Amino acid sequence: MVPAAYVRLEALPLTPNGKLDRQALPAPEDAAYVRRAFEPPEGEIERTIARLWCDLLGVEKIGRRDHFFELGGHSLLAVHLLSRLQAELAVSVPLAALFTHPTLAELASAIGHLEREALAPIVPVPRDEPLSLSFGQERLWFLAQLDGLTNVYNMPTARRLRGPLDVAAWRRSLDALFARHEALRSVFVARDGRPEVRLLDADSGLPLTVHDLRNAPDAPAQLAVLQAEEAATPFDLTHGPLIRARLIRLGEEEHVFLLTMHHIVSDGWSMGVLTRELNALYAAFREGREAALPPLTIQYPDYAVWQRQWLAGERLTTQADYWRRTLAEVPTLLELPTDRPRPPRQDFSGAFLSVRLDAELTGALKRLAQRHGATLFTTVLAAWAAVLARLSGQQDLVIGSPTANRGRREIEDLIGFFVNTLALRIDLSGEPSVAELIARAQRTAVAAQEHQDLPFEQVVEIVQPPRSLDRSPLFQVMFTWQNNERLAVDLPELQVQSVAVAFPQVKFDLELTLAEGNGTIAGGLSYATALFDAATIERHRGYLVALLRAMVADDRQPVMRIELLAPEERALLLTEWNRTEAPYPAQRCVHELFEEQAARAPEAIALVYKEQTLSYGELNARANRLARHLIALGVRPDDRVGLCVERSLEMVVGLLAVLKAGGAYVPLDPAYPAERL
């Protein structure tokens, strides 16, 4: 009964009826406020878990009743934890177990009932034999053969360096990185139609081009040109190197550093590894000493060989069965309304629109996720799925989402292409509430992450969706939650600032990328300019923010009934675009106005039904013939004439003929029972 925390308010928030507004009560700012009275860990398993939590979560002391996610844990840290538990306790813990047993004592108890299983290590392979590609590398190599030289998979970054830069130490640091990581020295050649990896000489050095713009009259313009050129220049996978850099000198103590890698040798996690090691190497070389980086016991080619050996037999069957069952009869296209028809071949030209959720909404979303035992990622995923469902009219849709795929402790310090893509199938049928949709998204994401070992390339082969050059298979919309380690470049006597890189390329129709930091959620929407206008994507952003605000306001409401339209857009759709009134001869009958149009444009098409068409002249002539027949049968003004016919050209002919004869048509549906007709 003793409160865990106190929050002082000037006044309690009230509803319009004067009652306490519980939804408006703020939560304590400290995420650890829910920690119970401290109980020290008991037993070997609990102490091991507590030590690992301290390392991963940055918390000094962990008790038995502490909650992993309330202390700041998320899905990526959960994967880290499970890989360390496998290494230290020789147990394979399913990811779902951490969500169902999130406190230390509960997790330790669950682990105590698992069988101990030693994991086969990743071991070095001989370098005097052809080296295999990983599954992910093989897919990118295949796409390169299909598309030729392309910059779609370039990974450009830029940093502004202010201060006394030691260029020699900088170059030496880059060369040391290049020699240290075999992934960066990999090139891909074909032998008998099959790709294999060859390694460039470790002493060849990372390509670094130096530009001096100190005396250039138009230095900012030249810098922009160099940045665009660097980001857009494609790589040759056969000859490499697949990493390159430029150092642009703007002043005596000001430089811009550009680094570009091909995705086939790197990923988002790798950027954190590269940054950490570059910091250490430059600091050491600048002082004239050797860097104390721990040796790498394995390299990326060793992982590629291990991946193919490990993913076989029963393990492969289990993973394949999950994806075959989950994606059975999956929709092949998310039919979003586009501003232009889809081109016959996918166009990768794109643009970017920033997205930012303020601190108030971010905090409310975190509390919403915690109440439902979910993560921020799956909570926003649920909202994004609901927006896409409302736009497309589909209740069954697939969203792609990348996963770091670093479930082994020994590969966490490697640079390479480990990332995998998960196809998350979200079910929005049955008018789920906000709470139910979050639960569905959470179950989907956890199950997919537990089966993330099967590469996306093999998932596509298993599901066998219809292939088309105008779209990506399985899904056309991506959602990326960036929770990889994002280290700052920390260099002696240098101020380092990130520089935005304009690289207008997209791999999907829509790509939503978000990350949490400094109390807010921020990122952006990348979109295919061949399909969408900027104004359309701005509306999509507004729908997402509106839905998120409604979700935190009431998690019991049906998510598909939440109002998304802004007042001005609602007025445009319902009022402005419905102002269809126009002056016309009010004393003339409909069939008389039709006859005037037929006289003005007899050749114009009046009716289209399936493959059939009728011009105004043809329609008028057929209606006249039938009208004369009706008059001959005795139809007089105001007589009622039954019109019993399926939707067709003949239905319109009959309607006009009845009016021309002076009668009033009575529509009769042929599907009605005979007695009713």
In tens, the pLDDT along 269-279 reads 899 999 999 99
What torsion, rounded to 10 degrees, do the Cα atoms 404, 405, 409, 411 define? -80
Give strand pairing partners of 517. 520
pLDDT of residue 33: 45
CA atoms within 13 A on the CB side of 266: 25
Q: Tell me, what's the pLDDT at 32? A: 43
Residue pair 323/208 in contact (Cβ under 8 Å)? The answer is: no
Is there a cis peptide before residue 241, judged by omega within 30 degrees of 0? Answer: yes
What are the CA-CA distances from residue 245 to residues 208, 280, 372 (Å)?
5, 19, 46
Across the range 39-43, mean pLDDT stands at 89
Strand partners, 479: 512
CB of 427 closer than 8 Å to CB of 395: yes
Q: pLDDT tens digits for 97-152? A: 888 888 999 999 988 888 777 677 899 999 988 999 999 999 899 988 887 888 88
- Of the pLDDT bands very low, low, confident and very high (cuts 50, 70, 90), residue 485 is low
Q: How many residues does the chain have?
A: 677
Q: What does the alpha-carbon distance between residue 509 and residue 535 come to, in Å, rounded to a whole number?
A: 15
Phi and psi, residue 242, nearest 5°: -100, 25
Long-range contacts of 310-314 (CB under 8 A, 24+ apart): 310/120, 311/135, 311/453, 311/454
CB 613 within 8 A of CB 648: no
Please answer whether residues 141 and 236 qualify as being in contact, where contact means their C-beta atoms are separated by less than 8 angstroms. no
Determine which of 61-70, 532-541, 554-563 has the lowest per-residue pLDDT on average: 61-70
Give the least confident one: 21-25, 173-177, 321-325, 337-341.
21-25
30: pLDDT strictly greater than 60: no
Residue 315: is its pLDDT beyond 60? yes
Q: For Cα atoms 660, 662, 668, give the angle at the middle one, nearest 5 degrees.
A: 85
Residue 351 has pLDDT above 80, yes or no: yes
Please name the helix (run of DSSP H) or strand (run of DSSP E) that holds residue 86, with its range, or none: helix 75-89
Enter the pTM of the model. 0.77
- Which alpha helices (H) appear in 497-600, and where do they start and end? 534-553, 567-574, 590-600
pLDDT at 583 over 90: no
Contacts of 176 (CB under 8 A, 6+ apart): 281, 285, 291
The tens digit of pLDDT for each residue in 152-207 reads 899 999 999 999 999 999 999 999 999 999 999 999 999 888 999 999 999 999 99
**In angstroms, rounded to a whole number, what is the distance separating the alpha carbons of residues 409 and 200?**
27
**1: pLDDT confidence band, cut at 50, 70 and 90?**
low
Q: Give the span between the Cα atoms of 273 and 667, in whole angstroms.
A: 73
For residue 20, the model assigns a pLDDT of 86
Beta bridge partners of 423: 400
- Which residue type does 160 have? R
CA pair distance 192, 195, nearest whole angstrom: 8
How big is the CA angle at 549 (ends 547 and 552), to the nearest 5 degrees? Answer: 110
